[in-house]
């Protein structure tokens, strides 16, 4: 037996194609193992479908490394956190904690958004106030907004903590107060008349981080480079009051290794998660389908009689039942889940293989070497495994391997129809979301190309493996030595 | 001492579908009694439709006869279930006709020869290697290591056939059914394989049923010959006798149809039996050969079937010419 | 002048392991009305010889040389189109091995026999039909069989149809490659009788290819014995069958089981050589009981110990 395996391996290893296939497979598996080892198994729920995780990411921006191609210096995404104030000033009735962030802004582009968050404001009597002050390199200063924590209600006992989970987050880019502040600032400093709505439409970051040029119709904005200081002044009214964390997010025009989707999710993370999921779906679905289909075909073809009838009718049933309504029903009854997809794909996939295998087996059954095996005293099971199956093995193996990428794509199609498992990121889903959000038309290549490429690479890996397997499984194709 | 294998009035009828609901009877073997002793060969000679292959398969219990009995070494194996026949399978083997499809193309010679040993749980790995080596040597496929690792498609037709012979020998059987073992080999190589079989028969005292349509090779490798036509034996005697003094018109026709290398052959026609070998679905009444028989006797041959009886010493024939 | 004269025919195939020298220096001729039996083991090159003559060539040909003179004209020089239109089937036709199994199952057999007429000649369908039915009679089938389908015919009948297809354009030469191998013995005898009667009635010349020298003797006026791509002996029936000269022919005859004689047949030990790397000198020498030194070093020349009886063996000269 071991001799046969060694012989089979050396036969497999001969062609360059197999080596490539194995290399790819090792890479895919290694990445998958890394993902499974370093992320918890519920990463879908924890990271992908959990808004707080990505709420501060820029939306639909390309990866960081595109800066080098574009030539411009694109805005890096930065998150500023402070738990300790830079400065504390006391007065009679209150204490003011000043938190400071400074940004050395040298980019050629405007930030995609900005936001500001406060968490864990604890107070005993009067609720704290937060003022956001924005200081530009040209020494202009704006008070962007004032935020007050909700007051203590009568039934609450001090100390009261507000904004724990979730923290209080202000999306400055869409905030009316910020827009008003900017409008006044522009009128005052640049004699520019722009309404609040106009400012929100053009993104408040543009006037905040830029200098106007021209007038009215020819109005354009140039980036103001230099050091920006953002101060958050927290006014607390009781010596025991505390503030948890202050965060200021400068939304980049690029983010991460693979960019973000329209929800701001880090695509690198999503695509990474997709590796083990893809391999799992591919392997499990195609293996189960192939095993059940081949077994059914061999039993049906060789044993004939009632077994044959049963399996054929089952196959007929599956063929005649429409896939989609059943799928919708199952999803409704059992819920969305990866296993549901796998089970349904397998249930609808096995008859195709079984029918073809059956007709191959019917031919093989008449061969003289089968008759010879019977006269040797072989049982039916022995003959089916040792003599019949190897005849259909080449075909079955190639089906196993070709079905893998097709299973991955089927899953994507199902996800497209809303029948997938939204809690787990798959390449198919990412791809589909990209299309759905118009990514192709708007040019969000980082969202569309990588998942598609990964699906192709996975498919090609299995094609290479199938090609490499052929001479092993079909001795007639072996090179004559 | 009982005969090695004995067939008593065995019949094998297949049902063939005709139309939606009716079936026809295909009488492949229609009442054959025969016995073969240890170390002897009985040749079964016939054309297509004679039932000779079916007879072979019945004697190997690859088919259960619809009537009659099959006895091996005195034991009745007619109706024994397949699962209880393993002991018989070890002692009775087959050599098949087509060297191109009687070997599993995905197995090496070694695995093909190893399979019967594995099935019957014979020997350790080491012992099996030796048995395989011995079998290959017996059929003169040497050096054995070289042939053991080859796949069937790497061998010639004759070599493949010898692997088939080796496979039938490896369990040390007492009875072998050889169904047209040399028909698909060149005429000049047939004798080689047959003489191999003869040597092995002498060495191991194996009883053979040698099925063929070629009466010339049957002369070389049978002590006795039974000529079959449409499921019945029409003549049965020692090989020499059948060929030198054939009594049944069909036997005579068969012999006349086979040429020896002779330059005068081309100058005259061969005497042939007209018509085609008939279909065992439509068995003629009376003597089955009567529609084609040059010695047909009206009102005799077509009425009732003649019985196979001994007309000379150890020479049986079923024909009204000898009644 | 001979009907067919083959001179120095050479055919090599390209294989994975190298050049297979399937046909090497083959010379023979056929007179009008004569049947030549081309006899040899499987793989000796008899089929290759014939496909070289009829140019039904596979793709992996390495070399094809020599001359084939049909009524004096070298047909190897003809362009493919001309060969197809003028020679193939009109002057030389073939019955391939297993041809009866390659009849088109959905076309009536009569129409299949008529097809060459419609392809090669100006003829109406009715005229063609008439001719086919006449031919059916000659080959021993009832005229009504014109409208049967192949599955309605027995093996022997199908073989007759295939022979009719080969004869329909009245070619001068018909090549038959193992025409009776799949048939029962009695049917085989019928077909051989048919061929004999066609020979008498129509005067056709034939090449009859087989591995069975006894069968060849039923039809052949002359014999060419092939071994490993060479013709080792040529002679008329009496010469080759009763006075075989080449050791291979002698062994071939000795290994044929005889029905009417009380002779124990022998066999030829060993196996035919690899055509990619054949033995040096005489290709038969490793298996030859009469070989001597010269045999392994020099390829034997052709000698003619009797008129019309050629042998390629150092025992007879040099």
CA A60 vs CA A426, A439, A440: distances in Å: 18, 9, 12
List the beta bridge partners of residue A235. Answer: A96, A129
Q: Do A376 and B93 touch (CB under 8 A)?
A: yes
Q: How far apart are CA A416 and CA B176, in angstroms?
A: 65
Q: What is the mean pLDDT of residues A427-456?
A: 84
Q: Do C252 and B188 touch (CB under 8 A)?
A: yes
Residues 6+ apart with CB under 8 A from B258: B214, B215, B216, C185, C189, C214, C259
Count of residues for chain A? 481
Burial C170-203 (b: 16+ CB within 10 A, else e): ebbbbbbbbbbebbbbbbbbbbbbbbbebbeeee
DSSP-based three-state secondary structure for C90: coil
Nearest-CA distance B172 → chain A (Å): 12
pLDDT tens column, B187-229: 878 888 898 899 989 999 999 999 999 898 998 899 999 999 9
Smallest Cβ–Cβ distance between B151 and the set A386, A390, A475 belongs to A475
Residue in B199, B195, B168, B166 with CA at minimum distance from that of residue B182: B195
Q: How far apart are CA B75 and CA B58, in angstroms?
A: 15
For chain A, first and last CA: distance in Å?
22
Q: How far apart are CA A150 and CA A156, in angstroms?
A: 12
pLDDT for the residue numbered A217: 73
Neighbours of chain C (3+ CB pairs under 8 A): A, B
Neighbours of chain B (3+ CB pairs under 8 A): A, C
In chain A, the domains with their CATH numbers are 2-51+267-477 (1.10.3720.10), 66-251 (no CATH)
Tokens 């398969």 map to which residue? Answer: B57
* Burial class (CB within 10 angstroms; exposed 0-12, middle 13-18, buried 19+) of A443: exposed
Residue in C273, A372, A387 with CA at minimum distance from that of residue B166: A372
pLDDT for the residue numbered B32: 94
Residues of chain A in contact with residue B178, where contact means CB-CB under 8 angstroms, are none
Predicted TM-score of the model (pTM): 0.74
Residue in A318, A272, A271, A263 with CA at minimum distance from that of residue A292: A318
Q: Which two tokens stand for residue C208?
A: 């009859």
Q: How far apart are CA A30 and CA A17, in angstroms?
A: 20
Secondary element (H or E) of residue C137: helix C125-138
Residue in A371, A323, A317 with CA at minimum distance from that of residue A345: A323
Residue of B nearest to C178 (CA): B186
List the beta bridge partners of residue A161. Answer: A122
pLDDT tens column, B6-34: 999 999 999 887 777 788 888 999 999 99
Best of A364, A384, A475 to disrupt the B interface (most B CBs within 10 Å) is A475
Q: How far apart are CA B234 and CA A170, in angstroms?
A: 108
Domain at C4-91+171-316: CATH code: 3.40.50.300
- Quickly state the pLDDT bin for B67 (edges 50, 70, 90): very high
Q: How far apart are CA A137 and CA A158, in angstroms?
A: 42
Q: What is the mean pLDDT of residues B123-151?
A: 89
Domain ranges of chain C: 4-91+171-316, 92-170
pLDDT tens column, C196-252: 999 998 899 999 999 999 999 999 999 999 999 999 999 999 999 999 999 999 999
pLDDT tens column, B277-300: 888 888 888 899 999 999 888 888
Residue A1 has pLDDT above 50, yes or no: no
Q: How far apart are CA B195 and CA B155, in angstroms?
A: 20
Percent of chain C topping pLDDT 90: 54
Q: Is the separation of the CB atoms in C216 and C210 below 8 Å?
A: yes
pLDDT for the residue numbered C283: 92
pLDDT for the residue numbered A475: 59
Residues of chain A in contact with residue C17, where contact means CB-CB under 8 angstroms, are 480
Residues 6+ apart with CB under 8 A from A247: A56, A79, A80, A81, A82, A115, A116, A117, A118, A119, A167
Nearest-CA distance C131 → chain B (Å): 25
Q: Dihedrals φ, ψ of A321, to 5°?
A: -85, 130
- Can you list the positions of beta strands (E) in A340-442? none
DSSP-based three-state secondary structure for B3: coil
Q: Which two tokens stand for residue B234?
A: 């029409």
pLDDT for the residue numbered A334: 81
pLDDT tens column, B242-271: 999 999 999 999 999 999 999 999 898 988
Residues 6+ apart with CB under 8 A from B146: none
Residues of chain B in contact with residue C221, where contact means CB-CB under 8 angstroms, are 266
Best of B229, B261, B272 to disrupt the C interface (most C CBs within 10 Å) is B261
Best of C45, C160, C180, C184 to disrupt the B interface (most B CBs within 10 Å) is C184
Tokens 């140019």 map to which residue? Answer: C55
Residues of chain C in contact with residue B214, where contact means CB-CB under 8 angstroms, are 185
List the beta bridge partners of residue B29. Answer: B12
Q: How far apart are CA A85 and CA A232, in angstroms?
A: 9
Chain mean position to CA A225: 34
pLDDT tens column, A255-297: 888 888 888 888 888 888 888 888 888 889 999 999 999 999 9
Q: Taken in order C277, C282, C284, C288, is the CA torsion positive or negative?
A: negative
Higher pLDDT: A55 or B139? It is B139
CB-based contact, B231 to chain A, within 8 Å: no
pLDDT tens column, A368-399: 888 888 888 888 888 888 889 888 887 888 78
Q: Taken in order B49, B165, B60, A367, is the CA torsion positive or negative?
A: negative
Q: Is the separation of the CB atoms in A409 and A455 below 8 Å?
A: yes
pLDDT for the residue numbered C83: 86
Question: DSSP secondary-structure letter at C119?
Answer: H
CA C183 vs CA A19, A307, B216, B251, C179: distances in Å: 52, 38, 16, 17, 9
CA A176 vs CA A181, B185, C90: distances in Å: 9, 98, 98
List the beta bridge partners of residue B246. Answer: none
Burial B283-297 (b: 16+ CB within 10 A, else e): beebbbbbebbeeee
Q: What is the mean pLDDT of residues B128-147?
A: 88
Residues 6+ apart with CB under 8 A from B44: B52, B55, B56, B209, B210, B211, B212, B225, B226, B228
pLDDT for the residue numbered B76: 92
- Can you list the positions of beta strands (E) in chain C? 4-15, 18-30, 35-39, 61-70, 73-74, 92-95, 173-177, 205-210, 222-227, 230-236, 303-306, 309-311
List the beta bridge partners of residue B94. Answer: B177
Size of interface B-C (CB pairs under 8 A): 131
CB atoms within 10 A of CB A6: 10
Q: How far apart are CA A345 and CA A285, in angstroms?
A: 7
pLDDT tens column, A397-411: 878 887 887 787 777
Smallest Cβ–Cβ distance between C267 and the set B189, B219, B257 belongs to B189
Residue in C179, C143, C141 with CA at minimum distance from that of residue C161: C141
CA B164 vs CA A389, B13, B152, B191: distances in Å: 21, 29, 11, 16
Secondary element (H or E) of residue C177: strand C173-177
Q: How far apart are CA C140 and CA C160, in angstroms?
A: 8
Q: Is the separation of the CB atoms in B319 and B248 below 8 Å?
A: yes
Q: Is the separation of the CB atoms in C250 and C262 below 8 Å?
A: no
Q: What is the mean pLDDT of residues A301-324?
A: 87
Residue A2 has pLDDT above 60, yes or no: no
Residue A102 has pLDDT above 70, yes or no: yes
Tokens 């503030």 map to which residue? Answer: A243
Q: Which two tokens stand for residue B245?
A: 């003094």
Q: How far apart are CA C162 and CA C96, in angstroms?
A: 9
pLDDT for the residue numbered A85: 83
């Amino acid at each position: 037996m071991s001799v046969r395996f060694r012989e089979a391996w050396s036969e497999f290893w001969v062609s360059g194609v197999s080596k490539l296939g194995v290399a790819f497979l090792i890479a895919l598996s290694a990445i998958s193992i890394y993902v499974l080892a370093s992320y918890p198994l519920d990463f879908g729920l924890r990271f992908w479908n959990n808004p707080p995780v990505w709420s501060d990411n820029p939306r639909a921006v390309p990866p960081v490394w595109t800066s080098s191609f574009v030539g411009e210096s694109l805005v890096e995404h930065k998150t500023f956190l402070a738990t300790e104030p830079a400065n504390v000033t006391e007065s009679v009735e209150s204490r003011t904690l000043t938190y400071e962030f400074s940004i050395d802004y040298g980019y050629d582009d405007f930030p995609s958004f900005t936001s500001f968050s406060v968490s864990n404001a604890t107070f005993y009597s009067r609720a704290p106030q937060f003022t956001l002050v924005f200081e530009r390199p040209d020494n202009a200063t704006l008070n962007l907004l004032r935020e007050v924590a909700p007051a203590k209600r009568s039934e609450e006992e001090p100390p009261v903590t507000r904004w724990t989970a979730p923290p209080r987050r202000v999306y400055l880019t869409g905030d009316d107060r910020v827009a008003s502040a900017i409008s006044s600032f522009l009128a005052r400093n640049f004699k520019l008349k722009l309404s609040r709505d106009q400012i929100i439409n053009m993104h408040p970051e543009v006037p905040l981080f830029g200098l106007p040029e021209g007038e009215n119709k020819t109005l354009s904005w140039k980036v103001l480079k230099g050091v920006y200081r953002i101060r958050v002044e927290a006014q607390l009214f009781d010596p025991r009051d505390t503030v948890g964390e202050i965060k200021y997010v400068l939304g980049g025009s690029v983010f991460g290794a693979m960019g973000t989707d329209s929800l701001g999710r880090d695509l690198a993370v999503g695509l990474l998660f997709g590796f083990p999921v893809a391999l799992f779906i591919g392997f499990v679905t195609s293996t189960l389908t192939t095993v059940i289909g081949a077994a059914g075909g061999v039993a049906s073809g060789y044993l004939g009689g009632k077994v044959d009838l049963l399996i054929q009718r089952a196959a007929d049933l599956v063929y005649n039942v429409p896939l989609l309504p059943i799928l919708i029903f199952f999803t409704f009854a059992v819920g969305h889940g990866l296993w549901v997809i796998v089970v349904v794909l397998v249930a609808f996939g096995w008859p195709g293989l079984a029918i073809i295998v059956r007709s191959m087996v019917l031919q093989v059954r008449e061969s003289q070497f089968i008759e010879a095996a019977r006269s040797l005293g072989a049982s039916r099971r022995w003959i089916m495994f040792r003599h019949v199956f190897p005849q259909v093995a080449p075909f079955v193996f190639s089906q196993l391997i070709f079905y893998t990428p097709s299973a991955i794509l089927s899953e994507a199609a199902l996800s497209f129809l809303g029948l997938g498992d939204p809690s787990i990121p798959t390449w198919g889903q990412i791809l589909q979301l990209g299309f759905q959000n118009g990514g192709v038309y708007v040019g969000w290549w980082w969202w569309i190309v990588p998942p598609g490429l990964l699906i192709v690479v996975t498919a090609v890996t299995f094609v290479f493996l199938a090609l490499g397997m052929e001479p092993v499984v079909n001795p007639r194709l072996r090179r004559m030595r | 001492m009982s005969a090695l294998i004995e067939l008593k009035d065995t019949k094998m009828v297949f049902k063939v579908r005709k139309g939606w609901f009716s079936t026809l009877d295909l009488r492949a073997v229609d009442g054959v009694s025969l016995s073969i002793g240890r170390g002897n060969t009985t040749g079964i000679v016939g054309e297509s439709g004679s039932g000779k292959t079916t007879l072979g398969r019945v004697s190997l219990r690859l088919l259960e006869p619809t009537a009659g009995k099959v006895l091996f070494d005195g034991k009745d194996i007619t109706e024994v279930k397949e699962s209880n026949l393993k002991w018989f399978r070890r002692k009775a083997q087959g050599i098949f006709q087509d060297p191109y499809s009687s070997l599993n193309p995905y197995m090496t010679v070694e695995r093909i020869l190893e399979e019967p040993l594995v099935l019957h749980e014979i020997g350790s790995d080491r012992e099996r290697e030796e048995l395989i080596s011995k079998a290959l040597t017996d059929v003169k496929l040497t050096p054995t290591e070289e042939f053991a690792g080859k796949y069937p498609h790497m061998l010639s037709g004759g070599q493949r056939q010898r692997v088939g012979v080796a496979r039938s020998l490896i369990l040390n059987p007492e009875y072998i059914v050889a169904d047209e073992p040399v028909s698909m080999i060149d005429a000049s190589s047939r004798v080689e394989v047959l003489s191999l079989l003869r040597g092995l028969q002498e060495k191991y005292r194996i009883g053979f049923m040698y099925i063929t349509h070629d009466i010339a090779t049957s002369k070389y490798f049978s002590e006795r010959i039974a000529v079959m036509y449409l499921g019945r034996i029409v003549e049965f005697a020692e090989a020499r006798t059948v060929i030198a003094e054939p009594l049944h018109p069909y036997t005579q026709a068969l012999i006349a149809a086979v040429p020896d290398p002779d330059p005068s052959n081309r100058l005259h026609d061969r005497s042939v039996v007209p018509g085609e070998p008939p279909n065992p679905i439509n068995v003629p009444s009376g003597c089955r050969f009567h529609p084609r028989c040059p010695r047909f006797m009206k009102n005799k041959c077509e009425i009732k079937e003649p019985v196979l009886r001994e007309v000379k010493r150890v020479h049986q024939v079923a024909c009204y010419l000898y009644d | 002048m001979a009907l067919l004269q083959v001179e120095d025919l050479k055919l090599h195939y390209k294989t994975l392991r190298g050049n297979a020298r399937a046909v090497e220096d083959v010379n023979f001729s056929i007179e009008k009305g004569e049947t030549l039996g081309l006899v040899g083991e499987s793989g000796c090159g008899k089929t290759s010889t014939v496909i070289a003559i009829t140019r039904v060539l596979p793709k992996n040909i390495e070399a094809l040389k020599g001359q084939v003179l049909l009524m004096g004209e070298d047909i190897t020089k003809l362009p493919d189109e001309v060969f197809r239109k003028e020679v193939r089937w009109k002057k030389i036709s073939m019955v391939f091995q297993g041809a009866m199994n390659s009849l088109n199952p959905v076309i009536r057999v009569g129409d299949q026999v008529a097809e060459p007429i419609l392809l090669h000649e100006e003829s109406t369908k009715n005229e063609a039909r008439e001719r086919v039915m006449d031919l059916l009679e000659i080959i021993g089938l009832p005229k009504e069989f014109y409208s049967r389908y192949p599955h309605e015919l027995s093996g022997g009948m199908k073989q007759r149809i295939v022979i009719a297809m080969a004869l329909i354009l009245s070619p001068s030469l018909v090549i038959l490659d193992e025409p009776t191998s799949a048939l029962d013995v009695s049917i085989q005898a019928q077909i051989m009788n048919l061929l004999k009667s066609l020979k008498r009635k129509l005067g056709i010349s034939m090449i009859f290819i087989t591995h069975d020298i006894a069968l060849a003797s039923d039809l052949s006026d002359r014999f060419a014995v092939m071994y490993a791509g060479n013709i080792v002996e040529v002679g008329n029936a009496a010469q080759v069958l009763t006075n075989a000269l080449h050791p291979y022919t002698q062994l071939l005859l000795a290994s044929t089981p005889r029905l009417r004689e009380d002779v124990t047949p022998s066999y030829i030990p060993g196996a035919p050589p690899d055509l990619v790397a054949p033995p040096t000198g005489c290709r038969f020498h490793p298996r030859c009981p009469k070989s001597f030194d010269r045999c392994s070093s020099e390829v034997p020349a052709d000698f003619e110990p009797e008129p019309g009886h050629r042998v390629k063996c150092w025992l007879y000269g040099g």
